[in-house]
Amino acid sequence: MDSITIRAGRKEDMSQIYDMIKQLAEFEKMADQVKISTETLISDGFGSNPAFATFVACPATDVNKIVGYALYYPCYSTWVGKSVFLEDLFVLPEHRKGGVGKKLFLAVAKLAHESSKRMDFHVLSWNPAKDFYKALGCVNLTQEEDWNVYRLHNEDLAEVIKDLI
């Protein structure tokens, strides 16, 4: 395999990242959940107040061809302060098992270590990537601390606040 370069994502990478987001959603059996576009990624990630940042993995011979990405954003813990949330880590199937995912993960971990106190992320219970994260020393909070993750989607948010509108 070509050696891999990890670099910060750029606007012009967003169409390739969007395609991988759709592939990740298909893998997670949630393809119908993707509601954004390449344009949304560009405006949300590169506007005056970026909501996220990315690292991308490229063959050293072609730094414009993306074979994986990590999308993350700053968040805050009232217990430890600044944190980083890793939203997505995805590597094209033909580039898996070669260390690309680990390089992307470590890039975000290094940034989290240098800029904050913690890095959080979610993994589906059936995803074999759990073994990858466990091997890196990551703690499964569902098992260790009995945390549960909750969510309100847009239509649920509207229902919850209907009396306030």
pLDDT for res 41: 98
Its sign, for the CA torsion 68, 85, 36, 32, is positive
Instruction: Output Rg (C-alpha) for the chain, integer angstroms.
Output: 17
DSSP secondary structure code for residue 54 in this structure: E
Task: Sketch out the chain's domains with CATH numbers.
Answer: 4-121 (3.40.630.30), 122-165 (no CATH)
2: pLDDT strictly greater than 70: no
* Of 145, 132, 74, residue with least CA distance to 100: 132
pTM for the model: 0.92
pLDDT for res 154: 87
Q: How confident is the model over 14-50, as pLDDT tens digits?
A: 999 999 999 999 999 999 999 999 999 999 999 999 9
CA distance 34 to 20: 11
Give the active site residues.
133
Exposure pattern of 12-46 as b/e (b: 16+ CB <10 Å)?
ebbebbbebbeebbeeeeeeeeeeeebeebbeebe
Residues 6+ away with beta carbon under 8 Å from 51: 44, 45, 73
pLDDT for res 152: 87
Residues 6+ away with beta carbon under 8 Å from 148: 142
pLDDT for res 163: 87
